[in-house]
Amino acid sequence: MLSLGPLAFANPWLLTALIGLPAIWWLLRVTPPAPRRQSFPAVRLLLGLRPPEETPARTPLWLVALRMLLAALVVLALARPLLNPASLGSGDGPILLVVDDGWTAARQWEARRSLLRDLVGQAERAGRPLLLLTSAPAAGGRDSATPLQALDPAEARGRVESLVPKPWPVDRADLLRRLETLQLGETAPVFWLSDGLEAESAGAGDQPDGLAVAERLRRIGPLTVFRETPEALPHLLQPPDNDGLALGIAAERPTAGFEETLGVVAQDDEGRLVGSVELAFGAEATRASAPLELPAELRNRVASLSIEREATAGARVLLDERWRRRPVGLVMAASQESAQPLLSEVYYLERALQPFTEVRRGTLEELLEQDLAILVLADLGRLGDEEAAALEGWVEGGGTLLRFAGPRLAEASDALLPVALRQGDRTLGGALTWDTPARFAPFPAAGPLAGLETPDDVSVRRQVLAEPSLELAERTWARLADGTPLITGVERGEGWLVLVHTTANAEWSNLSISGLFVNILRRLVAISAGVSAGARGGEPQPPLATLDGFGRLGAPPPDALAADEATLAENRVGPSSPPGYYGTEESRSALNLSAGIALPAPLPDLPLSVEERDYGGGQEADLLPWLLIAALLLGLLDLLIGLGLRGLLGPRLRGAAGALALAAAAGIAALTALPGGARAQADEAAALAATLELRLAYVVTGVPSLDATTRAGLQGLSRMLLRRTSVEPADPIGVELGRDELAFYPLLYWPITPEQRDLDSVGRRELAAFMENGGTLVVDLREPGGGSGLFGQGSAQAQTLRRLMGGIEIPALAPVPPEHVLTKSFYLMLDFPGRYDGGTLWVEQAEDTDKDGVASLIVGSNDWASAWAIDDSGRALHAVVPGGERQREMAFRFGINLVMYALTGNYKADQVHVPFILERLGQ
C-alpha cells in the first residue's frame, strides 16, 4: 500500500499506467471536420463552385485535457484510492479486535459493523491474521470455553457479518480472564470497539471496570479505543409504575450535560400503537418521567413500551398481567350471603370494583388458594387464630388486605390492622349528639390517594377510632374535616394492610354510593403487587418469546432455559435466561432487562498513551465507486461534445445537449463535494413517492430490455386497474434488492433471467424481511409451460431462481387449488395465462392468519409482464401465444386478481360470498 498523508492506494502498481497519458495526445488530437450542408438552387449553379480550402481541424486543447482527465480517473479508480486509511502498525503479527457486544452496543451497531469491515479489509491488504474477542457472554458459555484462535481475513469477515449484539450486559471480568490466557509471543495492535460505558456492576462490586480492561490491553500492544459520543449512549427504559390511573413511564441516561427529548410508545400484542408520551431530560438530569394516561380498555391492551428510534433490549419493556390484571377477592360470610342486596356490604363493593377489575367471591379458605392481588374483608369482626395466621403469611408474601369497619370490628379487633383501634365506635349526628356528619378533608399529598377530589356531599355519620400513636400520622391516608383518620394503611412484608374506618355500605356513611368510593378502590387496587403468572409451586417456566439485542421479540434461542421463581422475581437476565416472556400463552411472566440492572456510568478518561476515537469520524472511505461514476459522467460529456463538434447534433438537440452537459458537470461537482448526498436525496424522494401513492414495484434485473418490458407491463396493468377497479395506482417503480427500501410496496414482481447476479447478504435479508412482514413476492420464470421443475434441476431460469434465493427461508409451495382466493379475488377464473399459457402457478400452502391470508411467495412461468406491456398509445408490445387477444384479456384479469389479493387479503374466502358467486355462475 502506498500512503500519501490522508490518501492511500491499495493497488499502487496500477499508477504506472499514468505514464501512458501523453499517448492520448497523439490519439485524440485530430477531429475530422464537420460535413458542410450546400444548397443547390438552379440559378446559383455556377456560384460557389470553388469552396475554400479546408485543413483538418485539430482537437482543442481543453478537450484533449478532458479526455486525459477521464483516463486518469479510470487509472486512479483501479488503483483503489482510500481516504483516511487507518494504520495497523508495523510487523506481521495478528491484530486483536475486542468488541463490546452487549445490549448497550445495539444502538449504534451498524457503525461498529462498518468499522469492523474496514479493519478486516485493512488486515487483508496487509496480509495479517486477526483475533476477534467479544465481551458479552455467549449463549451456553461457548466463548469462554473455546480457545482464541487466529483467523484469516475471509474467516474474520464471516464472523463480523454474523456478529450481533446480545440482550444482556457485557462481562468484563470474564473478558480479563480470557485475556490473561492469551499468548501471542509478539506485540500486536489492539482495537477496542467499546460501548462507551463501564461494566454492569449490579451484584458484583469487585467487577473490573473499563480502566482495568484498558490497562490489560495496553500490555498486549498499541491500543486504540473507539467510544460513543455522549449523545449516542443508550438509554434504559424502566418498568412503569402503576397508580391505577396512569402508567408512570421513566427512563435513564448515562450522562447529563445536554437537553434531550425521548418518545415512548405503547403497543399491543399485534404491534399496533396504543399510546405515546414524551420524556424530557433537563440539561443536568439523568432521569426523566411522565405519566401515560389511557382509558382502562386501552391500558389493558398494552403489551410493551419502547423508546422510539432506539432499538436495544434496554429500550423496551414487556408488560404481563401484573400491569393489567388485578383480581380482587371478596370474602363472604354466611350472614352476608343471606342479607338483602341494598343492606349487604359485598353488594356495594362488587358494584364499585367490577368496572375496572376482576371480582371473585368465596370463603377465605377458597380465595387464599387462588392468585389474587387484593383481598377485601367487610365487617367480619375478629378473625380466628388460624385465619389470621394464613392471612398474615399471604400479606407478607405480597398480597394487599383491605378491611372495612363496622359494628363487629368495633366490638373486637385483631392484629391484622394497620393501627390499633379503640373499643366501641364514634357516632356523628343524631338525636342524642351535638355533632353533625363529618366531611372529608383534602387527601395528604404524600399518600396513595393524593389528588382525588373530595365532594361536599360525601359525609360520615359513624366510624371506629384509632388509638393515638407516634406512627398514626404517617399511616393515615385519608382524614375527616376534624382531623380524625378515616383510611389508614401500613406496609407489612411485601404486602399492605389497609383499613377503612367505616362500613362498605350506606349504614354509617354515604361514601359507598358516591363516585369517590370507586376512585378510592381503584387507587387501593393499583398499589397491590398484581398477579404474576410466573413459576407456580416452584416449577420453572419455559421461554415463550424472547428479545434479541435490538429489542425485537421472537422465538426463544435453543440455549434459553426455563426460568425459575427466583429468576423471575429478581429479573436475572443472562445467556440462559434472555429477557422476554416465560410460561404459556394463557399465563406468562415478563422478564425485563431494565428491572434487574442499573445503567452503567460512562467510561472514564483513559491514559494518554491510549488513542481514543469516536465511531462517526475518521473512518476509511473507498473512493473507487465515486471515481468510476465521475469517469462515466465525463465520458458522457465527452460524447456530447464530440457529436457537437462533428455536426451530428440537430438544431433541436443542441440546447438539450448543452443542458445535459451542464447537468453532467454539476453531477461531477456534486460527487466530488458531497459523496453520498445525492443518494440520500434520491432515497428520500423515492420513499416520499412510494408513500403518497400506491405503486406496483418490480425488481431491477440489470438487463435493460427485460427491465423495460417489466416496467411497460406493470404500467399497462396499472392503467387497467385504474379503468376497471377502485384502485388508483401511480406509475410503477423499479427497486434494487439490497439498496432500496421494500416496505412501501405490497406487491413485488421479479422476472428471472440467467444474467442476474447473486444477491448480497443485505439483499437476501431485506427480501426475507419483505416476505416475512406481509409483502407478496411474485416470481416469473418467463418460460413456456414451465414451473414444474421449480427448485429442482429444471430450466436455466429455475436454476437461477434457486441460486438467487439461496439462504432465504422459502415457504412450502403447492399448485393453486381451485378454491384459492386468487381464483375469485375480483374475476372468477381457473387459469392464469400470460404471454404463454399452460405453466403451473405455485403459491404458499398455509394461509398465514397474521398476514390476512396473503401468501408471501407466488411463483409462475407465463411471462405476465410481456402480456401486460403496452406503449404510450395503449398498443400491445408483445404477441401472446396461443390464445391471442382473448389470452391477453385473461392475463389482465389475472393481474387484477393478483393486485386485489395482495391488497385485500382473503376476504373473498368467507362463505358469505358463496351464494352470490353461485348466482353469477348460473347455478
pTM confidence score: 0.54
For residue 704, the model assigns a pLDDT of: 85
- CA torsion through residues 363, 369, 370, 376, sign: positive
State how far the Cα of 504 lies from the Cα of 507, in Å rounded to an integer.
8
Strand locations in 524-587 (E): 543-547, 553-554, 580-583
For residue 607, the model assigns a pLDDT of: 83
**Long-range pairs for 760-763: beta carbons < 8 A, 24 or more residues apart:** 761/161, 761/807, 762/738, 763/737, 763/738, 763/739
Does 482 score more than 50 pLDDT?
yes
In terms of DSSP bridges, do strands 247-252 and 359-362 run parallel, antiparallel, or are they unpaired? unpaired
- If one counts every other C-beta atom within 10 angstroms of the C-beta of residue 796, the result is 12
Does 847 score more than 70 pLDDT?
no
For residue 373, the model assigns a pLDDT of: 82
pLDDT tens-digit readout, 727-775: 889 889 999 888 888 888 999 999 998 888 888 878 888 898 898 888 8
Does 565 score more than 50 pLDDT?
yes
Summarize the confidence of residues 428-444 as an average pLDDT: 73
Q: Mean pLDDT of all residues in the chain?
A: 81
For residue 204, the model assigns a pLDDT of: 37
> Worst-scoring range by mean pLDDT, 562-566, 615-619, 796-800, 870-874?
615-619
Q: Which three cell numbers stand for residue 415?
A: 392484629
For residue 749, the model assigns a pLDDT of: 95
pLDDT tens-digit readout, 273-320: 888 999 999 999 999 999 998 876 677 789 999 999 899 999 999 998
Confidence of residue 122 (pLDDT cuts 50, 70, 90): confident
> Worst-scoring range by mean pLDDT, 140-144, 648-652, 791-795?
791-795
State how far the Cα of 128 lies from the Cα of 94, in Å rounded to an integer.
6
Confidence of residue 207 (pLDDT cuts 50, 70, 90): very low
For residue 665, the model assigns a pLDDT of: 57
For residue 848, the model assigns a pLDDT of: 46
State how far the Cα of 352 lies from the Cα of 326, in Å rounded to an integer.
14
Confidence of residue 846 (pLDDT cuts 50, 70, 90): low
Does 210 score more than 70 pLDDT?
yes
φ, ψ at 573 (rounded to 5°): -95, 135
Confidence of residue 149 (pLDDT cuts 50, 70, 90): confident
For residue 867, the model assigns a pLDDT of: 93
In terms of DSSP bridges, do strands 697-699 and 241-242 run parallel, antiparallel, or are they unpaired? unpaired
State how far the Cα of 203 lies from the Cα of 200, in Å rounded to an integer.
9
For residue 545, the model assigns a pLDDT of: 92
φ, ψ at 756 (rounded to 5°): -70, 145
State how far the Cα of 711 lies from the Cα of 428, in Å rounded to an integer.
87
Between residues 229 and 660, which one has the greater pLDDT? Answer: 229
Q: Is there a contact between 101 and 166 (Cβ–Cβ < 8 Å)?
A: yes
**Nearest Cα to 779, choosing from 765, 791, 792?**
791
Summarize the confidence of residues 710-718 as an average pLDDT: 93
Q: Quick check: helix, strand or coil at residue 610? A: coil
For residue 647, the model assigns a pLDDT of: 66
For residue 134, the model assigns a pLDDT of: 92
Confidence of residue 528 (pLDDT cuts 50, 70, 90): confident
- The single-letter DSSP state of residue 508 is T
> Worst-scoring range by mean pLDDT, 15-24, 797-806, 853-862?
15-24
Between residues 579 and 540, which one has the greater pLDDT? Answer: 579
Summarize the confidence of residues 494-520 as an average pLDDT: 92
Q: Is there a contact between 439 and 456 (Cβ–Cβ < 8 Å)?
A: yes
Q: Which helix (H) or strand (E) holds 699?
A: strand 697-699
> Worst-scoring range by mean pLDDT, 221-230, 441-450, 691-700, 907-916?
907-916
Confidence of residue 31 (pLDDT cuts 50, 70, 90): low
Does 406 score more than 60 pLDDT?
yes
Confidence of residue 686 (pLDDT cuts 50, 70, 90): low
For residue 517, the model assigns a pLDDT of: 94
Which amino acid, 86?
A
Q: For the stretch 284-321, what's the b/e string if a residue is b when 16 or more beta carbons lie within 10 angstroms of its beta carbon? A: eeeebebebebeeeebbbbbbbbbeebbbbbbbbbbbb
Q: Is there a contact between 505 and 343 (Cβ–Cβ < 8 Å)?
A: yes
Summarize the confidence of residues 337-365 as an average pLDDT: 79
Highest mean pLDDT among 63-67, 343-347, 710-714: 710-714
Does 59 score more than 80 pLDDT?
no
Domains, the chain, ranges and CATH?
2-33+55-83+624-675 (no CATH), 95-230+609-619 (3.40.50.410), 234-325+534-601 (no CATH), 330-526 (3.40.50.880), 679-920 (3.40.50.12140)
Proportion of the chain above pLDDT 90, given as a percent? 29
Does 358 score more than 90 pLDDT?
no
